[in-house]
Amino acid sequence: MSITKRTYDAVIVGAGGAGLRAALQLSEAGLKTAVLTKVFPTRSHTVAAQGGVAASLGNSTEDNWHWHMYDTVKGSDWLGDQDAIEFMCRKANEVVVELEHYGMPFDRLDNGKIYQRPFGGHSQNYGQTPVSRSCAAADRTGHAMLHALYQRNVRANTQFFVEWMALDLIRDADGDVVGVTAMEMETGEVSIFHAKAIVFATGGAGRIFYSSTNAFINTGDGVGMAARAGIPLEDMEFWQFHPTGVAGAGVLITEGVRGEGGILRNADGERFMERYAPTLKDLASRDVVSRSMVTEINEGRGCGPDKDHVMLDITHLSPDTIMKRLPGIREISIQFAGVDPIKAPIPVVPTCHYQMGGIPTNYKGQVVMPKAGNPNAPVTGFYAAGECACASVHGANRLGTNSLLDLLVFGKSAGETVVEDIQSGNLRLKPLPEDAADAAMARISRLDNQTNGTDVHEVRLAMQRTMQKHAGVFRFKELLEEGVAEILKVAEQAKTTEIKDKSKVWNTARVEALELDNLIEVAKATMISAEARKESRGAHVRDDAPDSEEFPNGRNDKEWLKHTLWFSEGNRLDYKPVNLEPMNEGTKPIALAKRVY
Ligand SMILES: Cc1cc2nc3c(=O)[nH]c(=O)nc-3n(C[C@H](O)[C@H](O)[C@H](O)COP(=O)(O)OP(=O)(O)OC[C@H]3O[C@@H](n4cnc5c(N)ncnc54)[C@H](O)[C@@H]3O)c2cc1C
């Protein structure tokens, strides 16, 4: 069968904030650029981001990038690489102002400057008091941002392939990345995209969990494709549970609600965060707040007939503030919880929200992996940015509003690196290997020929329940061990999924089956990496790693201050050092300390 080939300078997979920001850099430099996306660009999950994008503009409270860097390193529980964190925090103001100049409709202060609100873990003077650092467009920041970036790309003539699903990465005999296979969802036909550079910006994979704030399309495709092509995945044990998903529905209530003054209360009406985080209280970082909530629920102080959630109270805010700053949240509460937050508190529980790990990159957006003694050797032709990538700025726990910032900074940076690598002649169009499309065609033809197989929805549900039970907010030694066996069993079932409808045109059953392959890679990586990490750090908290003087909060820096690398083949684990050195000589590293808020 002959397969259509298309040739570009660069192909970007994903049209969320990271993909669009990278595409802009390439198109504006005059490179022939294609962007593939499963959904129309402005439907990417970035559109759902509510609370804001971090930058130390200091518009209403004093601020600077050093404090932002300190907060981010501390938030990461020292697992973030300090060179990448310094790079991101220093670049923040530039990329946010740039976005404003692209037409992003930020809210304004009376003096005309960008409105900023406080967010969890962001502080002044190295953890002393909350700071207003999150630049917001009401509670629809991601929506405004994605539209501004999309329009700018239309202006730059970026070529979009909408409703195209990338299937597999193409690497040649040298291990260099030379293209990607993709299926047009409308026709079911597979094509090869041949390019000098491939940039992955495929977003997160929150759908491995049963309860998630993530869109249904967040199936970790880029991460799965990288894993199948022999690229390791970094720090996949670290998943963020957002404290405030609507109880029973999972839909997100932004941390911006607490930034505007919202308070968490237990069944006794007590503001319980005062006990867990005396300084930042409800604005402590997300892992800390989520665990405090689960502890309240486990100790019998949960609300409702089943005592299975807590309350987020903003009834003390003026209706005007709620209508002006949090209109979307009011709507979500009315629709999904049946309460008007002007009059009554919102029932909330921690819900899976964000993957801290992903495809390993450096701060230039180059994908890196161990080679000939170098743990961070770039993979020629391969770049990644956004939630699918691990730069690593979020380490073991991400601070709110640092993800939208990550998209802008590392989307731009990956774009700049590709432009440099192509214009300098470092990257050329290498020939496609003979078997370029084999991996993708084998997956499609297995689905076409499978009989007596397993059901895609049942296997996905089994995966989601396994992840929720065995790798949740708190982690237990036995549950993790059982979880590894369970998830490997589910992965076996995923090898024989069968779709009854074999037609080609708009076959969503086929798309879901192909997505499941990617979810399974992510789920295996998560469970196996989590079982192996015998300490508590950030979002990964184990019952058998208690707080002690030697191991603050259960963290063991002697043995575990290192990044996990999981290889799909043989489920092999490897580790690499954390970079504790900032980028610039003049910048002081943030020294290891116990994390308290
Ligand atoms: C409800 C919610 C609220 C949030 N609020 C905030 C916030 O206020 N501040 C903040 O900093 N962070 C927030 N986050 C996190 C942040 O929004 C995300 O981490 C970020 O938007 C991810 O952007 P991205 O560009 O990496 O991917 P996405 O925006 O998820 O886009 C992924 C893109 O990849 C494409 N794609 C995926 N697989 C394929 C494939 N196989 N082939 C072709 N295309 C593919 C998709 O079509 C899509 O275009 C929030 C997240 C959620 C879920």
Kindly report the average pLDDT of the chain as a whole number.
96
How would you write 80-131 as a 3-class SS string? CCHHHHHHHHHHHHHHHHHHHHCCCCCCECCCCCECEEEEEEEEECCCCEEE
| Distance in angstroms (rounded) separating the CA atoms of residues 259 and 130 | 9
CA of 513 to the centre of ligand 1 (A): 21
| Distance in angstroms (rounded) separating the CA atoms of residues 540 and 542 | 7
DSSP letters, 492-537, are: HHHTTEE-S----TT-HHHHHHHHHHHHHHHHHHHHHHHHH--S-B
| Distance in angstroms (rounded) separating the CA atoms of residues 182 and 180 | 6
Q: Is 52 annotated as a binding residue?
A: yes
| 155 included as an active-site residue | no
Q: What type of residue sits at position 336?
A: F
DSSP letters, 371-419, are: ETTEEEEEEEEEEE-STTEE-SSSTTSPPTTHHHHHHHHHHHHHHHHHH
Is-contact 208 523, C-beta < 8 A? yes
Instruction: Summarize the confidence of residues 379-406 as an average pLDDT.
Output: 97
- Start-to-end CA distance of the chain, whole Å, equals 61
Q: What is the pLDDT of residues 434-477, one digit of tens each?
A: 999 999 999 999 999 999 999 999 999 999 999 999 999 999 99
Q: What is the pLDDT of residues 140-164, one digit of tens each?
A: 999 999 999 999 999 999 999 999 9
| Distance in angstroms (rounded) separating the CA atoms of residues 275 and 308 | 20
Check pocket membership of 48 for ligand 1, CB cut-off 6 A.
Answer: yes
Q: Is 309 annotated as a binding residue?
A: no
What structural domains does the chain harbor?
Answer: 243-352 (3.90.700.10)
Q: Is 49 annotated as a binding residue?
A: yes
| Distance in angstroms (rounded) separating the CA atoms of residues 80 and 392 | 5
Q: What is the pLDDT of residues 475-528, one digit of tens each?
A: 999 999 999 999 999 999 999 999 999 999 999 999 999 999 999 999 999 999
Asked if the peptide bond before residue 392 counts as cis, ω within 30 degrees of 0, the response is yes
Check pocket membership of 14 for ligand 1, CB cut-off 6 A.
Answer: yes
52 closest CA partner among 126, 133, 130, 113: 133
Q: What is the pLDDT of residues 89-139, one digit of tens each?
A: 999 999 999 999 999 999 999 999 999 999 999 999 999 999 999 999 999
Quick one: pLDDT at residue 583?
A: 92
Q: Model-level pTM? A: 0.96
Nearest CA to ligand 1 atom 31: 16
Is-contact 527 490, C-beta < 8 A? no
Quick one: pLDDT at residue 550?
A: 94
Is-contact 58 64, C-beta < 8 A? yes
CA of 44 to the centre of ligand 1 (A): 6
Quick one: pLDDT at residue 1?
A: 56
**Token duo for residue 429:** 């169009």
Check pocket membership of 286 for ligand 1, CB cut-off 6 A.
Answer: no
Catalytic residue, chosen from 152, 207, 286, 460, is 286
CA of 329 to the centre of ligand 1 (A): 19
Is-contact 12 153, C-beta < 8 A? no
Instruction: Summarize the confidence of residues 9-25 as an average pLDDT.
Output: 98
**Token duo for residue 290:** 């989520």
Quick one: pLDDT at residue 2?
A: 75
Is-contact 271 265, C-beta < 8 A? yes
